[in-house]
Structure 1
């Protein structure tokens, strides 16, 4: 174990700026000197939030090829005769988290280019690459309608997210109007009365999910001068994309009157058309820079699918990630709990010590991994572009780190170059952060003060 020096960085003193009750796990290491320069409760298990994506990115690089792409393909075992596909059309989905409705339309349009005007059989949706629930254990139930919690399913389209417009520019006593874009095969209904501002504080707008992608809005609203948008996560992705496929076939004037089937086993057939996602490095960069949950959890199960060569659950994804990082990167997980690849789950638990091992491995193998450019840069891009503690020199543009945020959680894990040109790796896990009744504008002030002092101290440390 490297020597722990008597650095000028006193974590307990700096913690005085954080709200009472805040839990902190912190560890920083000068990688050039192989020396721990600051630590505090670094063995405590904490919620990693989206810093979990660092592990997902690392494993994806170790298991999947740089040229890896998600594939969505049209297959068939039938023949084309007289402009008719004389049998079933198979659409094979593999979890592409960036797949869009426009890309689906272009894919289906290749049927028309092959002279197919009619499908005489059924439409088979092959989603066998993943099994089990399309959400991780420990995802908060009342966030499941939010788009950041959209299910990362095998059949994924437009991030499995849709938008509606609410028109509350109505007289008090009238109902708000719900406008649903026609392109979305969903139902949104409800009675939302317009009330005065005082009354609106007691009837929060909420949504109740029913089967068949039906959403019921409840509550009330104060008058609004302009319409505003609401976004919701698709609850049944397979049914949702099936309806979109039927609509697009009709738009292409391809006749289809068969059934839509969803078998559990993988399907085979001759390839009619294919669509490929962006290659792995581009997906990872988007995942880390923008903290994209769907990319993270699609990769999480895809890793398990390729590693074990079998349909993947979230539990199998966790097993694969731990096994791969233990065997290939020598990371010791001890009592770590891993439930997903995005960090959304409240079941995830990891120590700063364990996360630092991953950061060290990344630096040591950067020539082959090429991961550093994917981290957000303070004051420049991604989720660090506007972090108030790091928008001034010497920290701005000098910290590359993955953020992690849940309610009460403010984490960072990444790298900086110190005053002497040396590389420093650090892990900051802040859990249980609460400022009570302070409003949105002021609740981060203690965090900004703490981080600014801490990372300036790290920069100066020798």
Structure 2
């Protein structure tokens, strides 16, 4: 794709806007997989539509997902975490990281139901709440669960009287495209553009023309967001984008084919050394050797875009997922590496510059850990500190 690649989210119509500003036809929001589309981005599109004279939509709001398939999850993902923010579904249309915040405000008196709302508020998610207001000074404890394969979220718990409204939890949406067009329709109405029709999924008709669009920041910055903070949604969207751009199919399987071809033909990694089931590493069907990571790191160190790649990685003791690790050790500021974690597994792979000025690639993977992986991270940090402290070149 290249570091300057940008996502484009466009608004299309085959209808006409009359003298009163009424669009006689549907307004189609077509996505290309942008994982960072947010409220300011959609508001910018709405302002552009207003500048074109749009004052009312007589048709529907339609979400067009193009060649992206309808499988929003990776292979082998577990049903019990699909409502968690780190497992948000991915697609051609994504909004607000495909999560909804649960805002809880206590009632004035203990024993009364608390006020629970969803943000952004849309018809995409139904709310079932039994959160109560507890005594002043009591603990604040709120939990949520989305019904499996459904759009109903159940919120339970208690919040102390006299407290403020706060975001107590987030929940992943079920259908990112429907969620996006639901929110887009609501934002149009809130911005003074009534919409007669409902929000639904579909395709832009032949001959539809573009009215407005949002262009994302460049891929080098998106990849930095991904690697610095281990953003699963970005990784899943990028995998599907690779499939869409290179194979004509925005699917996990097409994206996987692109990645595996790159690993084998360019990075020189044996196909049998990597088993890839998703873009984020959340699936337990993902398998990889430390040697494969070392080969990839060595290849990227010499790649023409190697600097962009290395600068996207967290720096020990400085930023991202390593900001609180290896502080006050020889590794602080000398290690650039990507963390990896699922239950019982902890990994760290990247680069370290030794005291002798020698750059080294390393990969440390701990599997099948019982209980906390904290000892694994401590061992990783100690190894990195040792390597960073080497005063002679290897």
Structure 2 length as normaliser, TM-score?
Answer: 0.87
1:451: Cα distance to partner? Answer: 2.8
Q: Distance in 1 between matches of 2:230 and 2:304?
A: 21
Q: How many residues align?
A: 382
Residue of 164, 171, 195 corresponding to 1:232: 171
Q: Deviations over 1:273-316 (max 9, x none)?
A: 111011111101111111111111111100111111x2322122
Q: Distance in 2 between matches of 1:175 and 1:208?
A: 24
Q: Distance in 1 between matches of 2:223 and 2:146?
A: 34
By relative contact order (CA 8 Å, sep 6+), the higher-ranking structure is: 1
Q: What pairs with 1:120-199 in structure 2 (closer than 5 Å)?
A: 120-167=58-105, 174=111, 177-181=114-118, 183-185=120-122, 186-192=125-131
Q: Distance in 1 between matches of 2:50 and 2:150?
A: 30
- Does the CA contact (< 8 Å) of 1:73 and 1:271 recur in 2? yes
Residue of 340, 361, 365 corresponding to 1:425: 361
Q: Decide which moves more: 226-235 or 130-139.
A: 226-235
1:134: Cα distance to partner? Answer: 0.6
Q: Distance in 1 between matches of 2:132 and 2:60?
A: 44
Q: What pairs with 1:205-220 in structure 2 (closer than 5 Å)?
A: 205-209=143-147, 213-218=151-156, 220=157
Q: Deviations over 1:83-132 (max 9, x none)?
A: 22232222111111111122112202222211122223333211123103
- Does the CA contact (< 8 Å) of 2:346 and 2:377 recur in 1? no
Which of these two proteins has the greater Rg computed from alpha carbons? 1
- Does the CA contact (< 8 Å) of 2:314 and 2:336 recur in 1? yes
Seen in structure 2, the aligned counterparts of structure 1 residues 223 and 279 have a Cα distance that, compared at 3 Å, is same
Structure-1 residue corresponding to 2:285 = 347
Q: Distance in 2 between matches of 1:383 and 1:435?
A: 21
Residue of 272, 286, 289 corresponding to 2:211: 272
Structure 2 residues not aligned, in runs of 5+ = none
Structure 1 length as normaliser, TM-score?
Answer: 0.75
- Does the CA contact (< 8 Å) of 1:76 and 1:89 recur in 2? yes
1:321: Cα distance to partner? Answer: 0.9
Structure 1 residues not aligned, in runs of 5+ = 1-63, 437-442
Q: What pairs with 1:375-386 in structure 2 (closer than 5 Å)?
A: 375-386=313-324
- Does the CA contact (< 8 Å) of 2:74 and 2:252 recur in 1? yes
Q: Distance in 2 between matches of 1:408 and 1:231?
A: 24
Q: Decide which moves more: 93-102 or 257-266.
A: 257-266
Q: Distance in 2 between matches of 1:104 and 1:66?
A: 24
